[in-house]
Amino acid sequence: MSEAMIPADLPLRNDLIGEVPYGAPQLDVPVCLNVNENPYPPDHAVVRSIVEHVKQVAPTLNRYPDREHIELREAFVRYLKEESGAQLTVEQVWGANGSNEIMLQLFQAFGGPGRAALGCDPAYSMYPEYARDTFTSWYTTHRKPDFTLDVDHTIDDIDAIQPAMVVLTSPNNPTGTELPMTDLKRILEHCQSAQVAGAHDGVHPIVVVDEAYIEFRNPGTPSATTLINDYDNLAVSRTMSKAFAFAGARVGYLAASEGIVDCLRIVRMPYHLSAVTQAVALAAFDHRKEQLSQVDHLREIREQTAAWLKEQTYKGQPLEVAPSQSNFLLFGGHFDDRGAIFDQMLQRGVLIRVVGPEGWLRVCMGTDEEMRRFREALVESMRAVENA
């Protein structure tokens, strides 16, 4: 949608005039490697379980669902204990329609007019849109050249901006960079005494860690969820869209102190999680091993692809690859016309993403055959641009 498609006589908010909807291209091409999905569909046993769970709730669809989704929250607690070792209670978790809704609820609860949120650039491009939609001022601190967090500058900006929220990501999108626990603890501890502009005395910022891709981290890397019982100002957002191969189900969840969860309960829409959504998510958790069965393989593909990319050259220079603990890689570093390479890839039936700093492109990990086609198309595309 463009500005010209909106009739001039509609009372669109002034700050939204000229804006376009967020979204990566959805194109019908043979190889889609642009939105960080798990390329492997649910196992047949999972599909059968989903059907059975939905059949059980179908006769009750004339009634509203459990708006507190207790059974699903119990499943979140069990999974986080198994996956990350986090010891949480039902009161410390919360579900929503994808982690996008979790993040929006956080901005609704803690942002708003006169409030600010601080992120670390480059980061997920939806963060400033959550801020815009809730009338929250959005600020960023630049990461270091290697895309790791600049903790000292971040802390300086927390003091200068006095945000209500500090939004961090691990692994970071679009770079795949992990957030070390030592860095996170420094920021958490600083925020325990930092001031919030426009708030009463004694009010301090919360720290939000977006762990949408956390299951793809290297073995032994801890999750921020293990710190929740030590820091009341920590909120961790997660999703079932990525590693769980459940992007179409739209299920996200939050782990945080009971107080933060109660703040989200204030702003959530009534019955925001349908009975069908809850049933489908419970079916997936019943088969979590099957759902997560390809994570190790995708991690191996990531490492193999990173090594291969580093061996490739563009205009005489080796490609750069950002170290990643996710299911995608940011690569290039010095593409002088990344749009041209994207177009050449698309002509060859391979869809990747133009995102992040200038000179870089992003590819998510696909099946073995999809990655073979990616490698072939990238070599051809770079040569075509070089020779143009």
pLDDT in tens, 326-384: 999 999 999 999 999 999 999 999 999 999 999 999 999 999 999 999 999 999 999 99
Q: What is the pLDDT of residue 19?
A: 86
At a CB cut-off of 8 Å and minimum separation 6, what does 179 contact? 149, 168, 169, 170, 171, 172, 209, 224
Q: Cα–Cα distance between 293 and 29 in angstroms, integer?
A: 26
At 329, list the tokens: 């890689």
Q: Which amino acid is at 158?
A: I
Structure tokens at 351: 């869809």
Q: What is the pTM of this model?
A: 0.94
Which helix (H) or strand (E) element contains residue 42? none
Query: Is there a contact between 306 and 318 (Cβ–Cβ < 8 Å)?
Result: no
Give the architecture-level CATH label for domain 44-291: 3-Layer(aba) Sandwich (3.40)
Rounded CA-CA distance 314/329 in Å is: 17
Q: Cβ contacts of residue 111 below 8 Å, gap of 6+?
A: 117, 130, 131, 134, 135, 136, 164, 165
Cβ–Cβ < 8 Å for 167, 118: yes
DSSP assignments along 59-86, one per residue: GGTTS---TT-HHHHHHHHHHHHHHH--
As a whole number of angstroms, the distance between CA 223 and CA 180 comes to 9
Question: To which residue do tokens 């769970």 refer?
Answer: 53
| Residue 244 DSSP SS3 | coil
Check if 3-32+294-386 and 44-291 are the same fold.
Answer: no
Positions in the chain short of pLDDT 70: 1-4
Nearest to 147 by CA among 353, 319, 324, 363: 324
Which residue do the tokens 């929220």 mark? 165
Give the count of beta carbons closer than 10 Å to the beta carbon of residue 336. 12
Burial of 241 (0-12, 13-18, 19+ CB in 10 A): buried
Half-sphere exposure of residue 106, counting CA atoms within 13 Å on the CB side?
A: 36
Which long-range contacts (C-beta less than 8 Å, at least 24 apart) are formed by 338-345? 340/385, 340/388, 341/378, 341/381, 341/382, 341/385, 344/377, 344/380, 344/381, 344/382, 344/384, 344/385, 345/377, 345/378, 345/381
CB 162 within 8 A of CB 196: yes
pLDDT for 8: 83
Superfamily of domain 3-32+294-386: Aspartate Aminotransferase, domain 1 (3.90.1150.10)
pLDDT, tens digit, for every residue of 213-259? 999 999 999 999 999 999 999 999 999 999 999 999 999 999 999 99
pLDDT, position 18 = 86
- Domain ranges for the chain, please list them: 3-32+294-386, 44-291
Q: How far apart are CA 205 and CA 117, in angstroms?
A: 9
State residue 23's pLDDT score: 73
Contact by Cβ (8 Å): 379, 338: no
Helix (H) or strand (E) holding 188: helix 181-191
Q: Which residues contact 128 (CB under 8 A, 6 or more apart)?
A: 119, 138
Half-sphere exposure of 68 (CA within 13 A, CB side): 7
Please report how the helices 44-57 and 275-286 are oriented relative to each other, as an axis angle in degrees rounded to 10: 140
Q: Which of 108, 26, 54, 10 is nearest to 353 (CA)?
A: 26
